[in-house]
């Protein structure tokens, strides 16, 4: 800068010192230089990260231990991954079947298995049936051995065949056809349902009281099996006659003589989205009809 001033001075200024001083004072380059020199430079502000943080007193008993949830770090928290699970095929099938039976219209012969006895009735029925559980293999063997021993010794056989539940689809069907069954209990979740869907009609024809109960596994436990489609009572002991008669009478009214069960269709329940769409359509139709009526009245 001062070299520039000096060159200008040497070229443009006169020889006298007075004129030289006036030239320097009037020259804009000199003024700029003075202003630049006199003006103090602004220092750039420090970044935010370098600001001094106020020191806070920390309790050593409660020290912060932040978790590192990245790869190889701390154990991840438990999350609900139900939606992301690839379920086994049998689970997917039974869920799809359940939804399909809700959506499609189900004929009365199959829809009747959705009308089952309530919890209190089921409890009293199972309590009665449990008294007539069939023998186990071990008990039966012991009874037959005792009978054989008595026969060998020439004694009268004192051990009699116990009164028990009858189970097995063919066996129960024969008992119904012979009108030997006093009460028939059918499971609601037999698969395929076609194995038992005709059984209520046969019971009505032969005038045998029947009922539909939830859970083939519950019937299975009564007869020492995993599952049982149906069980039947043919005879009971003297003390249980009144209870059996009461149950049979109530089930006759609920199932045998109930015409509504034979006419009621099942299914036809759509999903939430479909229900909302149909509701909107119905609302639009109602609005349209109201407008037409309003125009005709006017």
What are the tens digits of pLDDT across the range 30-74? Answer: 555 544 455 566 766 666 655 566 677 777 788 888 999 999 999
Classify burial at 257, counting beta carbons within 10 Å of its beta carbon; exposed 0-12, middle 13-18, buried 19 or more: exposed
Please give the average per-residue pLDDT across 128-138, as a whole number.
Answer: 90
Per residue in 260-288, is it b (16+ CB within 10 Å) or e — as a string?
A: ebeeeebbeeeeeeeeeeeeeeeeeeeee
Model confidence at 181, pLDDT cuts 50, 70, 90, reads very high
Helix then strand then coil, in percent of the chain rounded to 5, is 55, 5, 40
Please give the average per-residue pLDDT across 166-183, as a whole number.
Answer: 94
Please give the average per-residue pLDDT across 270-286, as a whole number.
Answer: 94
Model confidence at 17, pLDDT cuts 50, 70, 90, reads low
Model confidence at 154, pLDDT cuts 50, 70, 90, reads confident
pTM of the model: 0.64
- Of 40-54, 120-134, 223-237, minimum mean pLDDT range: 40-54
């Amino acid at each position: 800068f001062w070299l520039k001033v000096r060159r200008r001075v040497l070229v443009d200024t006169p020889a006298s010192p007075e004129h030289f001083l006036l030239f320097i004072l009037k020259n804009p380059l000199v003024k700029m230089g003075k202003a630049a020199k006199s003006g103090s430079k602004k220092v750039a502000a420090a970044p935010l990260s370098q600001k001094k943080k106020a020191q806070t007193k920390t309790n050593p008993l409660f020290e912060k231990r932040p978790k590192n949830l990245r790869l190889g770090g701390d154990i991840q928290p438990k999350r609900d991954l139900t939606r992301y699970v690839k379920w086994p095929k049998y689970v997917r099938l039974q869920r799809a079947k359940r939804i399909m039976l809700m959506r499609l219209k189900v004929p009365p012969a199959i829809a009747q298995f959705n009308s089952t006895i309530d919890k209190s009735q089921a409890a009293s029925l199972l309590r009665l049936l449990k008294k007539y559980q069939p023998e186990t293999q071990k008990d039966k063997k012991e009874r037959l051995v005792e009978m054989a021993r008595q026969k060998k010794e020439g004694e009268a056989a004192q051990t009699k065949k116990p009164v028990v539940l009858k189970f097995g689809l063919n066996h129960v069907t024969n008992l119904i056809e012979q009108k030997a069954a006093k009460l028939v209990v059918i499971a609601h979740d037999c698969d395929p349902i076609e194995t038992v869907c005709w059984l209520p009609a046969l019971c009505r024809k032969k005038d045998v009281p029947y009922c539909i109960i939830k859970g083939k596994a519950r019937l299975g436990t009564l007869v020492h099996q995993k599952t049982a489609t149906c069980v039947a009572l043919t005879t009971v002991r003297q003390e249980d006659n009144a209870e059996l008669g009461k149950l049979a009478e109530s089930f006759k009214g609920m199932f045998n003589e109930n015409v509504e069960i034979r006419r009621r269709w099942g299914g036809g329940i759509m999903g939430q989205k479909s229900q909302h769409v149909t509701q909107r359509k119905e609302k639009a139709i109602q609005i349209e009809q109201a407008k037409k009526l309003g125009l005709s009245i006017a």
